[in-house]
Amino acid sequence: MPVLPGCPCPPDVIPYGRQSIDDDDVAAVVAVLRGDWLTQGPHVETFEAALVAATGARHAVAFANGTAALHAAALAAGLGPGHAVATSALTFVASANCARYVGSDLALVDVDPDTLNLDPTRVPAGCDALVAVHFAGLPVDLAALAARPPVVIEDAAHAIGASTPDGPVGNCARSEMCCFSFHPVKTVTTGEGGAVTTNSEVLAERLRVVRNHGIVRHPERGGWYYEVESPGFNLRLTDLQAALGTSQLSKLERFVTRRNALADRYRERLAGLPLVLPPAAPPGFRHAYHLFPVRVPDRRAVYDGLRDAGVAAQVHYVPLYRHPVLGRFDPADFPGTGRAYEGLLSLPLYPDLTEDEQDTVVEALAKLLG
């Protein structure tokens, strides 16, 4: 069976990422399934409260997936045609699509090869919004922004459990909103799922309205009465998923600690090999290690060789300026991203990865690079 990017691997293949599901996660979902409420209901509220507790933000609004969370954040921020939205040139396409969905123009920012994050000194002056991606789980240093755009949305799909000198990622200390994904390769999962955190009551209310068709209720005109004042969508998370999320979130600290321990172990074991290790967290920052992206010579041969050895390493990401749908960009404008992309390869990293499996990865890599 071919191993497709993002698809579940056959059992004898070590994937680059996967979920950690225990019996208590299963029990949490089954309990909801036996109850009265399957779609968004009390378990979504409980999950949102757990996200508030984990991040320190005032509000959390759960969504059907991380892409929906980003789309809703762009709508809640009032972004639309005529606005310029900047994001990293090295990210998943969803970071940019949220701008495209609302008709805004896209500006791509080259990455700093030392952090693999967008270079905060290169965010174009005059852009209306920034989608700041915390690549691999290392937070962008938003304190270093040369000019702060009116709207800063964090794409923290990789970074739940990370922190900066301002506190946990998601507390929105330097942003209007922070978006998370709970896809199974991310640090906590709901199957599909996402959320936006914010400290603004106004933005939180807009996010809730966008999530539910744009419906605004007016009970003073009758219990049934509502009006739709803005175009909304059905972007709801189910209670089944939310119960899984609450159970998963209770293990966040363990998951991130384990990811950091495995990352340290990679650093020790790969130290002598001809490759570039991922940027480490600077003092005062905590890395969430969603990914462990090394840079290798002859990446194509190493990627294929690892697959032959049963290791499904992955490339994060094909730079956004290469996707025709996003418009025409000149690759020469992104020298940092181009240089990084040439060798990038994410090695397997997830809480249930065993040390034996990790050693298999290291040995296969050593043989290919030796």
Residues annotated as catalytic (active site), given as ranges:
186
Closer by beta carbon to ligand PLP, 19 or else 65: 65
Q: Residue with the closest Cβ to ligand PLP?
A: 66
- What's the closest the beta carbon of residue 91 comes to ligand PLP, in angstroms? 5
Closer by beta carbon to ligand PLP, 180 or else 368: 180
Residues 126-163, buried b or exposed e (16+ Cβ, 10 A)? Answer: ebbbbbbbbbbbbbbbbeebeeebebbbbbbbbbbbbb
- What's the closest the beta carbon of residue 92 comes to ligand PLP, in angstroms? 4
- What's the closest the beta carbon of residue 65 comes to ligand PLP, in angstroms? 4
Closer by beta carbon to ligand PLP, 183 or else 258: 183
Lookup: tokens for 60: 């959390």
Which chain residues interact with ligand PLP by CB under 6 A? 65-67, 91-92, 94-95, 133, 155, 157-158, 181, 183, 194
- What's the closest the beta carbon of residue 316 comes to ligand PLP, in angstroms? 8
CA end-to-end distance (rounded Å), the chain: 29
Residues 293-311, buried b or exposed e (16+ Cβ, 10 A)? Answer: bbbbeebeebbebbeebbb
DSSP state of 1: -
Closer by beta carbon to ligand PLP, 104 or else 362: 104
The widest CA-to-CA distance across the chain, in whole angstroms, is 75
* C-beta neighbour count of 109 within 10 angstroms: 28
Rounded CA separation 319/323 (Å) = 8
Rounded CA separation 254/259 (Å) = 9
Closer by beta carbon to ligand PLP, 18 or else 158: 158
How far apart, in Å, are the Cα atoms of 311 and each of 61, 235, 318?
Answer: 37, 35, 20
81 with 104: CB under 8 angstroms? Answer: yes
Closer by beta carbon to ligand PLP, 64 or else 353: 64
Write phi, then psi, for 178 (nearest 5 degrees): -130, 125
- What's the closest the beta carbon of residue 363 comes to ligand PLP, in angstroms? 29
- What's the closest the beta carbon of residue 54 comes to ligand PLP, in angstroms? 17
Residues 6+ apart with CB under 8 A from 180: 51, 66, 69, 156, 157, 160, 170, 186, 194, 195, 196, 197
